Structure 1
């Protein structure tokens, strides 16, 4: 998913609400937009950020933090999600055609696997509300503000978790009593998430005509019948639109798209309808009308029931949703010198919560990359997962979840990623007949586009699966989860070596994260993650007493690790080959981002972490080159006529390599995916390269896409950053854009801070915890509270000497340094180890634990010397290390 796919190559203070009266409408007491305060620029911002483009403002909405923007709203998409539904529109209030899987049909209102509406539009006194003056991203909801004569209208969109539809609240604020005419247009497009626009069959054949009627006070849309496609089944899909109050008029049939023109689409089989309401607005109180949209695959009766549930106390549902998001926000409470990075991580917690999805009654079938529609191979009653991205990647993916797992555990959102891995396992077992291969993607109605046994990949997501399971086990200590997944993880690794190592050299064949022309059969990222997967399987085997698997996996991992550099390193250009050819093992170098994975990976061997696979000298040279303008977005690139981003290119360009290499192929692709930048940030951290122009720039590259000048939706991490080969989403047609929200980019901010800077290393399966911080030189301190580990939590604070002068940026002249680590565990432990990374050029003069001299050990790692002390497992523990220059 994501960068594997070539489709994008080439893309005022508000009054507190009071209860009023309005023709029986549901009225909200929930305060929406609060006082707006200009967002402050973080210390890591560069001069390149200072542009005419306005910043988002920090505000509050429903008692929670929020971000508002007011520029180019018609060009900005937004997404509001719940576990059973979501809405995608523009921040100005419109619903133009969006997305490309089904061209122009990926926006609107959805309850997966069904699309319900192309959109819903609101008008007041004959004028459409499509020109919002501001848009606000809140926790679990969004709002828009419209000015209409002397009337202010605020619209709130949200999807209550567990409900199959969406709510739209319209709050009227007037200085005088008046009656307004509220018009609601709805255009249906009852359509399944699969087939897509180019598949066989396609939606042009599969999508049947919708019908519309009025049932009491509601519009009812319905699609019934059997698509003229072999193996398609009869269906009765329905969507209903209405309010708790009675409309004064209605219209049906034809196009009802508010101010927007009809979309000429080969897939369009929808119909429209209009409801009109007379709303009494008081000059003394705020008046809110709630409009709901709900749907079902089992006919109108169930859809009506869903709408009844949605319209029952919607303001309480909104408060409940925000409260649930605030609970998630309380996990991993960070205090960082870099305020933008801290706020970015807070919003990434919300992004991950936004990504939680549920699908039911999945009829699993292998579509052979969209070329077939066979009988289902089996059925899954229910799956819970993290949708990869909105609007075009909302479903279940293997590789996305395996990267997103690192961010998920670090912000304490254990259950969603557990559910995701369980869903992958269950679907893979059915579709791949128990082989052990992990599927690539499953659409919410059950179709697998890619990832069957006969497909050439993705090998990387099968070998990454044991690592994702081991990660969850270490952070949660959940032996039942490990036991449930263990046999499948063992078969993951057995499958790949039995079926995908034709030349028996240990380097597996098959696709990895990058699929581009000219690559050899054996891919670098597959090799890197295979080694890690074997070690992680070995660790789980050890914990279960499975000696045979332990011996096999560790022996194989050790062998591959010993030969890795000889097979993959290219000394002429100080990079690893991106792939090897079979059978001659020739190295192919195309400058793809996967060249950073040997530095990004962390392996566990005999319970000890080992950071990176490559030697420090090689890593430094490789990462130095990746920081150049040929490989990363730096400065004022002449190809860029929009805001630039300093992240890592998908594929670098010639011009910076120190010499030539015969196996080099120019495959330049200057797109900056947030995942690529995340990989670079983690790789820099593994080798202790925390400088502002090293890891710092890549942390900032992803964070700045969320705030203070958001890429599209404030707070949302997108799929692709502004970059030469892509452009910027705001400047592209909405049917050609990358995702407005993509989950995996959070890996590049959350993981470096929690795991590398604060140094938290849980091994809760053995009830052990290590905390060995390593702060950037420009950070004198950092801390986290309520960091979830096992069935409890831990608080960590770290201090190190501030070795840079804030004014000059130069290193301070001092010969005495103090490093402190303080840990307060609120979890049952067998062992607690505190430590700190100490620079090689400094000599330890004293080490104390809780004020007493302490014995310590010193471990050399790729990020520096780790000085470690064993501490008591209860109560606050404080380590102080004093050093002097050698």
Structure 2
């Protein structure tokens, strides 16, 4: 009898492995966003922390990207690539169909799906890309649905384009790519490929799949030293039956054993791994959850958190951190993360923020020693490409303080020496002794190596952050020193960087001769790429500049680049000047946001780019638009700030459903890390006015809600180990708040323009009240 039950158990396991009942049941319950047919030949991203897939929404895997030309798509297990791509092929003996022209594409937080309507074969096939969160492998789930009443038998082939190759900058480590070779391992029931010069492996297979010699009718010519491998099996379907099978890809940059072990684990645990990943993303979704009457806005906010998680990358021996963007920037940036990590903090993703900080600081020390300089860009093999731009260090130090304020993690105080040294390093870059660091910041203007406004703005912000660190460390001398420097620099920003003629802060400071030359070059560039509006504006500025009497180094507004708005972003601008500058900025926007003007794309990228005529003159980047939203809110204009965020909303799901590109609406990186800064920071820190002090169990809340937000909520706001819920309702000039918290922390509410506040039944004049209990109701009259 026991043998009967053993046989039954084996049969059940076998049946479940070939026809799992729960995988697509789980998938079908998830939120998803459908792609647009006109963007079917543009990229998608499915990612876990250790591995990701980049292909096209229609099912193809063309050569993609410019950073490593043509190689940025496929299956990547950093610091190596496993596959250039893959596709399925179905043969019923009469017709052959390749799964490369999807009828529909759907994006999910946890994966992505291509749907193929194969009428000739009487089938509907779903191809679902699923990367388990913490595994070095990929599960591709195929659901076959027989549309016919009669039995339908087909041969299914999985065609893999194997290309084991190293990541960017591997040559600087002496790593050379070798030819790939492989063999069928009958004992493990999988195909194993290896690079013949390195211990790089990829394992391919699925239940009942065997190597196939069938001709790949959809073969694509590729670069590299890899080869194509086909694996096939039979699929038999009863009338109207659905059946699900898996194909698993795993890899290792260390040894064969771990690639095989991962393959076996994924093959046996697909449903549980999917359940685990769904649970992980639900935690991301419910923390710092925004609820407004604009469901599409809420969706954008929610999915930008998912986008951020897609870009988290864990590389053995290097570390874990937020990468800049996909597909061309799967590297770690100190500069980008000076912004992006602030968005992670504001949106409740504190673990991801802390991991990224630790990694960037480790890479910075590796290349810059103990100088305090923060590196700009590093490959996932640990090679630092750029040791740091001038804006990188001050912005990162400001972010570091935000991290301590939001998390209260005392380990961050161990970086106080980095803060002090970073301040000294920035100050040491003042080559000409005029009080300003010399060199490029976020924008590199051709032919100019002078002072840039973003560097100066972020230096001011850095002094305030450094003073806060010094205060917590009870370093009174440095508190005073940093605050004095911040005050002096703020005064200079408003006197030496303001240009009355253009109602704007300057892009840069230089001599008149330099400025004229740069303006003439900018006119030529704008004309060469057919930007008549830019030519006209620059010509007007050139004519004005020629008439001006300028003898020494002075501030100039040549490009009116977005960096001229950074004094408002950091709160350094005087109110009157801010109002003029913010108004002037409205001349540099379209329906997608704020223009980036005057800067051409890097020459290497220009050559390799699909959009060869593209230039940043007149482009709309998401970061500048977010900076402008923060600036507007900070200077009392939440309605205009919301306008900018709604411009970003028009870019959300434009080309890749559930994602926002780097340049609106559909250029650059299809998923970009700093987008979470552009949206979460103005919403959480400016509109809801959350100013955390987690290290002292205290929260300052200064709401500044847009007029149309008459009924909003922000739930499970993570501050240290506390959780805060805030809901607000507005009727005419009365605003009602309901606030609850997990622990009895001190909460200070400030409503500067309030006539009176009623809190928990107590009425006071003015607009400031301190609360300590777990639940409070406030009624504010303006």
C-alpha distance in 2 between matches for 1:825 and 1:102: 49
- Cα deviation 1:185-240 (Å, max 9, x = unaligned): 111111111238xxx7799x943222232222322221122xxxxxxxxx221112
1:190 and 2:89 matched: no
What is aligned with 2:577?
A: 618
- Cα deviation 1:720-761 (Å, max 9, x = unaligned): 113xxxxx44xxxxxxxx111101112222222212222211
Residue 96 of structure 1 and its aligned partner are, at CA, apart by: 0.8
Which of 96, 119, 144 is the aligned partner of 2:85?
119
- Cα deviation 1:120-147 (Å, max 9, x = unaligned): 1101122111111111111211111111
SS at match of 1:142: strand
Task: Give the direction of change, closer, same or farther, for the CA distance of 1:439–1:652 in structure 2 (3 Å limit).
Answer: closer
What is aligned with 2:140?
A: 168
C-alpha distance in 2 between matches for 1:490 and 1:845: 43
What is aligned with 2:492?
A: 563
What is aligned with 1:696?
A: 642
Residue 389 of structure 1 and its aligned partner are, at CA, apart by: 0.4
C-alpha distance in 2 between matches for 1:444 and 1:257: 33
Conserved in 2, the CA contact under 8 Å of 1:241 and 1:291?
yes
SS at match of 2:362: helix
TM-score normalised over the length of structure 1: 0.76
C-alpha distance in 2 between matches for 1:22 and 1:128: 28
What is aligned with 1:825?
A: 741
1:250 and 2:212 matched: yes
What is aligned with 2:52?
A: 86
Residue 286 of structure 1 and its aligned partner are, at CA, apart by: 2.5
Residue 505 of structure 1 and its aligned partner are, at CA, apart by: 2.9
1:850 and 2:780 matched: no
C-alpha distance in 2 between matches for 1:189 and 1:668: 34
Task: Give the direction of change, closer, same or farther, for the CA distance of 1:584–1:115 in structure 2 (3 Å limit).
Answer: farther
Which of 468, 475, 490 is the aligned partner of 1:546?
475
Task: Give the direction of change, closer, same or farther, for the CA distance of 1:650–1:73 in structure 2 (3 Å limit).
Answer: closer
Task: Give the direction of change, closer, same or farther, for the CA distance of 1:490–1:28 in structure 2 (3 Å limit).
Answer: farther
Conserved in 1, the CA contact under 8 Å of 2:40 and 2:105?
no
Which of 393, 412, 436 is the aligned partner of 1:462?
393
Conserved in 2, the CA contact under 8 Å of 1:796 and 1:824?
yes
1:349 and 2:305 matched: yes
C-alpha distance in 1 between matches for 2:691 and 2:132: 35
1:753 and 2:683 matched: yes
C-alpha distance in 2 between matches for 1:559 and 1:142: 52
Residue 22 of structure 1 and its aligned partner are, at CA, apart by: 8.3
- Cα deviation 1:312-332 (Å, max 9, x = unaligned): 221221121112101111111
1:574 and 2:503 matched: yes
1:218 and 2:147 matched: no
What is aligned with 2:635?
A: 687
Task: Give the direction of change, closer, same or farther, for the CA distance of 1:520–1:105 in structure 2 (3 Å limit).
Answer: closer
SS at match of 2:169: coil
What is aligned with 2:541?
A: none
C-alpha distance in 2 between matches for 1:332 and 1:496: 35
SS at match of 1:408: helix
C-alpha distance in 2 between matches for 1:20 and 1:623: 67
1:647 and 2:587 matched: no
Conserved in 1, the CA contact under 8 Å of 2:499 and 2:556?
no
Conserved in 2, the CA contact under 8 Å of 1:109 and 1:165?
no
C-alpha distance in 1 between matches for 2:644 and 2:46: 28
What is aligned with 1:145?
A: 115
1:632 and 2:589 matched: yes
C-alpha distance in 2 between matches for 1:274 and 1:24: 25
Residue 772 of structure 1 and its aligned partner are, at CA, apart by: 1.9
Conserved in 1, the CA contact under 8 Å of 2:439 and 2:450?
yes
More helix by share: 2
What is aligned with 1:426?
A: 362
Task: Give the direction of change, closer, same or farther, for the CA distance of 1:186–1:561 in structure 2 (3 Å limit).
Answer: same
1:870 and 2:770 matched: yes
C-alpha distance in 2 between matches for 1:258 and 1:767: 64
- Cα deviation 1:84-121 (Å, max 9, x = unaligned): 00000111111111010111110000101111100011
Which of 375, 380, 385 is the aligned partner of 1:439?
375
**Matching of residues 194-343 of structure 1 within 5 Å:** 194-195=168-169, 206-216=176-186, 217-225=189-197, 235-247=198-210, 249-251=211-213, 259-263=218-222, 265=223, 268-283=224-239, 285-343=241-299
C-alpha distance in 2 between matches for 1:282 and 1:195: 52
C-alpha distance in 2 between matches for 1:285 and 1:211: 39
After the TM superposition, which of the residue ranges 545-554 and 764-773 deviates more from structure 2? 545-554
1:670 and 2:633 matched: no
1:596 and 2:565 matched: yes
Conserved in 1, the CA contact under 8 Å of 2:724 and 2:741?
yes
- Cα deviation 1:690-731 (Å, max 9, x = unaligned): 33xx3233101212222xxx2221111111113xxxxx44xx
What is aligned with 2:3?
A: none
- Cα deviation 1:5-29 (Å, max 9, x = unaligned): xxxxxxxxxxxxxx99988854332
C-alpha distance in 1 between matches for 2:585 and 2:334: 27
Task: Give the direction of change, closer, same or farther, for the CA distance of 1:687–1:20 in structure 2 (3 Å limit).
Answer: farther
C-alpha distance in 2 between matches for 1:740 and 1:202: 30
C-alpha distance in 2 between matches for 1:326 and 1:572: 52
Conserved in 2, the CA contact under 8 Å of 1:212 and 1:271?
no
C-alpha distance in 2 between matches for 1:418 and 1:202: 28
Residue 566 of structure 1 and its aligned partner are, at CA, apart by: 0.8
SS at match of 1:613: coil
Residue 74 of structure 1 and its aligned partner are, at CA, apart by: 3.3
Residue 594 of structure 1 and its aligned partner are, at CA, apart by: 0.4
**Which consecutive aligned stretches of 4+ in structure 1 deviate over 4 angstroms post-superposition?**
19-25, 200-203
Q: Where does the alignment leave 5 or more consecutive residues of structure 2 unmatched?
A: 1-10, 512-550, 600-614
Which of 505, 515, 518 is the aligned partner of 2:434?
505
Number of residue pairs matched by the alignment: 707
Residue 828 of structure 1 and its aligned partner are, at CA, apart by: 4.2
What is aligned with 2:151?
A: 177
C-alpha RMSD of matched pairs (Å): 2.4
C-alpha distance in 1 between matches for 2:616 and 2:77: 39
Conserved in 1, the CA contact under 8 Å of 2:755 and 2:765?
no
SS at match of 2:470: helix
C-alpha distance in 1 between matches for 2:307 and 2:28: 18
Residue 879 of structure 1 and its aligned partner are, at CA, apart by: 2.1
C-alpha distance in 1 between matches for 2:33 and 2:46: 14
Residue 416 of structure 1 and its aligned partner are, at CA, apart by: 0.7
C-alpha distance in 2 between matches for 1:275 and 1:598: 59
Conserved in 1, the CA contact under 8 Å of 2:490 and 2:573?
no
Residue 786 of structure 1 and its aligned partner are, at CA, apart by: 0.9
Residue 274 of structure 1 and its aligned partner are, at CA, apart by: 0.6
**Matching of residues 771-850 of structure 1 within 5 Å:** 771-801=701-731, 817-829=733-745, 831-836=746-751, 838=753, 845-850=755-760
Which of 632, 641, 656 is the aligned partner of 1:713?
656
SS at match of 2:695: coil
Residue 652 of structure 1 and its aligned partner are, at CA, apart by: 6.7
C-alpha distance in 2 between matches for 1:271 and 1:437: 44
C-alpha distance in 2 between matches for 1:515 and 1:260: 42
- Cα deviation 1:570-602 (Å, max 9, x = unaligned): 01111011112389532232211101111111x
SS at match of 1:387: strand
C-alpha distance in 1 between matches for 2:747 and 2:172: 58
What is aligned with 1:109?
A: 75
Residue 543 of structure 1 and its aligned partner are, at CA, apart by: 0.7
SS at match of 2:594: coil
1:157 and 2:129 matched: yes
Residue 284 of structure 1 and its aligned partner are, at CA, apart by: 5.8
C-alpha distance in 1 between matches for 2:363 and 2:581: 39
- Cα deviation 1:743-799 (Å, max 9, x = unaligned): 111222222221222221111122211222122122222111111111021011223
What is aligned with 2:555?
A: 587
- Cα deviation 1:342-372 (Å, max 9, x = unaligned): 11101111111111111123xxxxxxxxxxx
